[in-house]
Chains A and B, each alone.
Chain A
Amino acid sequence: MKKIVFSVVSFFIFFSLFAFSLTLTDVKIKLVATIAHSLVKKKVVCVDLMDKEFLNRQKGKIDHIVFVNSCQKADIIITDNIKQIKKSCISKLIFVTNYNTYIHTPFAVGALFWQKGRPVLIFNKKTIKAKHIRLPKQFYQFVE
């Protein structure tokens, strides 16, 4: 248990330390990239960033992540409003940026958002299992 707690703590301290040596945007990109590469086993992962407030859309390829405008081309969709997603994209990996949206979206893979100046990361156990996703050990403690 202690090991888990410490790995959680160190994981977030690592990113928190990054937070102000880099910018918050840099940290968010790093987090998104880490999550995306954990969920999708591709060299370059396409991300449709629908929640523009969460992260300023980046041009080009960053950390082997390509931000695309079409949910159909995307491997992962990041949104705060499920209604934005086309029906044809519902089966894609969906990450939400709001806790309220997360609890009302059972098919969301997880949630990533900032609350009280701290990052919050949650993975949905049922969806992960249903989509046959194997998470790295470092994310086990965020599975609900």
Chain B
Amino acid sequence: MFKHVLQVQRALIFLLLILFISTVWIYTKFDSTMRYTSANVTNMELNNLKRIVKAIAGNITLNIKQGSMYEQLKYNKKLREKLDKILSLYVNDEMKYVYVIYKDKKGRYRYLLDGSKIAKERGAFNQIFIPVSNIWDVCFKTKKDIFTVQKNIASLWITYLHPIIINKKMQAVLALDISTITDKKIEKSLIPLRMYLKYLIMFMFIVIFTTAFQIYLLLRERKVSRIDALTRLYNRLYLQEKKNTISLRRVAVAMVDIDHFKDVNDTFGHDVGDIVLRNIAKRLIIYTRAEDVVIRYGGEEFLIIFELEFGKKDIDNIINVAKRIQKQVSENPIRAGDINVSVTVSLGLDPYTYRRHSLEESISIADLMLYAAKRNGRNRVEIAKG
């Protein structure tokens, strides 16, 4: 059950991580997507503007007779007013300014017509006009449509210029300033998506963090539940979980029991008994190798699963280790406060685990050997026969 929960959580965290990374990637790509969308909209807008400028220019040229456009407008106020009115018809929230600029003899730009409805924004006839980019020069020179997408002029997005040519002579330039309304609308419409991605990333981060923390707690809990609180050795739950993964060919099993442990408890009390248990556990860890597993099997009973490094050839070494444990414990009394407690251990060893059908069978045989050691006077090692 525990294993399944862990597996599900691991899969979940993996999926969330993939989702998290892909969302972060989408979020980082958002700016380029916005630029791409904006460029597409700009192109659409430009195509639209091309048609509009042609219509306006057509309207203007219809009202201008042969000759200089400037001269005709200079001396005909009514015509100026009429054309200003025509231009003003095209002015709206999006198409902010529609005006006509000409170049005087000194090469300065001046207003000819202006459709601006706001007096403050309206350029008077012949008023100087100061351009902020060189597209005006280019338009007068090339006599072709030109546009600029601006970033530095407040609330203006596109400036589109169209040459007014009468009788093959460049008369003026019709200018259309498009406000940032459309551009802002696109940006505004994409903001919720950006916000959604932002919150999604935050949410996923929280979920991933929470899940990772849960896995950490679960793993810690799992570790704690498999460790004996007194001796800090593994307990039988650990054995239960690991037994199916242990290869019988590569292990040997020993059962260790403290002799007359009940007498230790009765004579010195349970605190000293606990010290003895902890000390024996510590010695078992010291006398075995890192790859061997020491388990507190019962009250004063321990199970050692030896790892056979060299297979069957290692059996003699294991027997020697078992004998050394027995000898070391009997020769070195345990210090418990002010008193020395002399204890001995009996060991039952089954070095032929590879011949058994299961680990349980090997443990049972080692247990039988332990009883044999007890029967034969304790403080000894009994080894099972192959």
**Residue ranges of A at the interface with B (Cβ–Cβ < 8 Å):** 1, 4-6, 8-9, 12-13, 16-17, 19-20, 24, 98-100, 103, 115-122, 141-142, 144
Contacts and interface: CB of A to CB of B under 8 A. Distances in A.
Given A116-B116, A117-B154, A117-B156, A122 B128 contact: yes
22 contacts: A1-B107, A8-B131, A9-B133, A12-B132, A13-B152, A16-B132, A20-B151, A20-B152, A98-B120, A99-B124, A100-B119, A115-B120, A117-B153, A117-B155, A117-B156, A118-B131, A118-B153, A119-B130, A120-B128, A121-B130, A122-B128, A144-B128
Given A98-B120, A116-B97, A13 B133 contact: yes
Contact of B154 (A5, A17, A24, A99): A24
Contact of A9 (B119, B131, B154): B131
Contacts of B124: 99-100, 103
B97 A5 contact: no
A117 B131 contact: no
Contacts, number: 66
B225 to A, nearest CB: 63
Contacts of B107: 1, 4-5
Contacts of A121: 130
Most-contacted residue by chain A among B107, B119, B132 (CB, 10 A):
B132
Given A12-B132, A16-B153, A116-B116, 11 more contacts: A1-B107, A8-B131, A13-B132, A17-B152, A100-B124, A115-B120, A115-B121, A116-B123, A118-B153, A120-B130, A142-B130
A69 B151 CA distance: 36
B93 interface: no
Interface string B147-171: 0000111111000000000000000
Interface in B111-141: 116, 119-121, 123-124, 127-134, 137
B14 to A, nearest CB: 46
A122 B109 CA distance: 13
Nearest to A116: B97
Contacts of A116: 96-97, 99, 116, 121, 123, 156, 177
Interface string B226-255: 000000000000000000000000000000
Contacts of B132: 9, 12-13, 16, 118
A19 B137 CA distance: 23
Contacts of B128: 120, 122, 142, 144
Most-contacted residue by chain B among A6, A99, A103 (CB, 10 A):
A99
- Lowest 8 CB-CB distances: which A-B pairs, in order? A117-B153, A16-B152, A117-B154, A12-B132, A117-B156, A116-B97, A1-B107, A16-B132
Contacts of B99: 116
A8 B130 contact: yes
A19 B107 CA distance: 26
Contacts of B97: 116
Contacts of B129: 120
Contact of B123 (A8, A13, A24, A115): A115
Contacts of A120: 128-130
A70 B121 CA distance: 30
A9 B120 contact: no
A19 B154 CA distance: 9
A19 B155 CA distance: 12
